[in-house]
Structure 1
Amino acid sequence: MDDEHFLSRAFIEAGGIETLVAQDAPEMKILTEAERAETLRTTLDARPPGAAWLFGYGSLIWNPTIRSVERRTARIEGWHRAFCLVTRAGRGSKEHPGLVLGLEEGGSCTGMALRIEDDVLEYELSLLWRREMLTGAYVPRWVDLLDDQGVRFGSAVTFTVNVLGEQYAGHLARSTVIESLATATGTLGSAADYLFRTCDGLRMYGIPDAELDQLAAEVGAAQGQDGLRS
């Protein structure tokens, strides 16, 4: 399944993700609409002064699904991207769980900042919450955005991993990460494709991530491919 088309704005608005998870992983605890709304309101109430941005570090780079008016690369400090979340729906199954990215504490991360207009901010974030906050696997928080000179240019909401959540899988052996990414697949496609698309998106915007590229090469080799796709 090509999730660039399947995981669309219309699909999210129609409640498709909730249906998908309920069908593929009925044992997973899904936040109620009221619980999601409460976390969104708490996040909006904590918004710093100035323009509102979203910081994407994984699939939000190549399939954001929200409407933004400006896009630019940015770095955040104190967090790094890692395959630290287990998924049994979308990019994995109960028999072969997949892994997706989250932000773990420590280091830094370069990704894509998307600026959202104030008059549509709450609605656009509500769609994002239906996509990213369905199971409470993430903790949304505001972070400082730095340009390539290290100068702060704004604040963005982003999704850090919930280390107390049942999906958290930090500090896995590299062999376990490679095996999971190389073999897991679900309704939205394979975990490997999620990795490869993220690498493609980072390269398209000139964002280097040697660690992720190396991981993609090892996953490709495990699948019998010749490393990274051209």
Structure 2
Amino acid sequence: MPPQVSEDAEPSEGASLPPDHRSLRGQPVWIFGYGSLIWKPGFQFTRRRVGFIRGYSRRFWQGDSYHRGNQQEPGRVVTLLEDANADTWGVAYQVQKDQLRHSLEYLNLREGVLGGYVRKTVTFYSRGSTARGRSTLALVYIATPRNPLYLGPAEAEDIAGQIVRSRGHSGHNLEYLLRLAHFMRSACPGVEDEHLFSIEAASLALEPSGERRAAPGCA
């Protein structure tokens, strides 16, 4: 049975927006994705922007017993760690008022009930906008250490071994890793993500040479 989370789980449009977003009720809302939402948002949106949020680093510290693993062999997916000196790159989606209720209900199930994530508000910077100081509030889903699927830090080789072994309803855990690495190289050239790329290298080293998977296009 998937884990249940009580924080920020109500589906109605107004109540489901964090307090600092409720003043924007009736206006478009941005949702930031830094994992599978990058290539598979699954909800309606009107605009898509590549960019980053500040003060967080991406880590493969969240367990996944549904999408990329199972109860016996949980996979590893990303969450965010507060880090004052880091930026995390991903994609933000603009959701209009008439799309919002359905989008939040869908994400509450996918990220909250099935994933163990809670919602927070962050500041999103579109690619190329920092020189002009433009930014916008965005919702983001973060798995905290309080959820039952949280696995925490491990060596890159240990995380890689878990990823190579795991598969869930959405496919192989390795596919998730390779899609994320492909996005960073293709959409964010020159941006280094040491944690991601070290796990990618360790995972590919564990794959038999005849079975290595080419990174699929996702940007």
The TM-score, its normalising length taken from structure 1, stands at 0.77
Structure 1 range deviating more: 52-61 or 172-181: 172-181
Residues 144-175 of structure 1 show CA distances to partners (whole Å, capped at 9, x for unaligned) of 11133422321110011222111111222222
8 Å Cα contact 2:157-2:202 kept in structure 1 = no
RMSD of the alignment, in Å? 2.7
SS of alignment partner, residue 195 of structure 1: helix
The TM-score, its normalising length taken from structure 2, stands at 0.80
Whole-Å separation in 2 of the counterparts to 1:36 and 1:117: 19
1:88 maps to 65
Letter in 2 for 1:152: R
Letter in 2 for 1:37: P
Whole-Å separation in 2 of the counterparts to 1:79 and 1:122: 27
1:170 maps to 152
Deviation (angstroms), 1:135: 4.5
- 1:180 paired residue among 131, 151, 162: 162
Letter in 1 for 2:200: A
2:49 maps to 72
1:5 maps to none
Structure 1 range deviating more: 63-72 or 129-138: 129-138
2:207 maps to 223
8 Å Cα contact 2:18-2:120 kept in structure 1 = no
Letter in 2 for 1:55: F
1:118-197 alignment to 2 at 5 Å? 118-135=97-114, 137-147=116-126, 148-150=128-130, 151-197=133-179
1:202 maps to 184
Letter in 1 for 2:44: R
Deviation (angstroms), 1:45: 4.1
Letter in 2 for 1:218: A
Identity, in percent, stands at 24
Deviation (angstroms), 1:77: 0.9
Letter in 2 for 1:86: G
Deviation (angstroms), 1:209: 4.3
Number of positions where the alignment pairs a residue of Structure 1 with one of Structure 2:
203
8 Å Cα contact 1:213-1:228 kept in structure 2 = no
Whole-Å separation in 2 of the counterparts to 1:100 and 1:181: 9
Deviation (angstroms), 1:52: 1.2
Q: Structure 1: which 4+ aligned runs deviate by more than 6 Å? A: none
Change (3 A) 1:52 1:113: same
Residues 74-126 of structure 1 show CA distances to partners (whole Å, capped at 9, x for unaligned) of 21111121111112222112332211111121122011111111222122111
Letter in 2 for 1:223: E
Residue ranges of structure 1 left out of the alignment (5+ in a row): 1-25
1:99-110 alignment to 2 at 5 Å? 99-106=76-83, 107-110=86-89
SS of alignment partner, residue 17 of structure 2: helix
Structure 1 range deviating more: 197-206 or 142-151: 197-206
Structure 1 range deviating more: 58-67 or 145-154: 145-154
Residue ranges of structure 2 left out of the alignment (5+ in a row): none
Higher helix share: 1
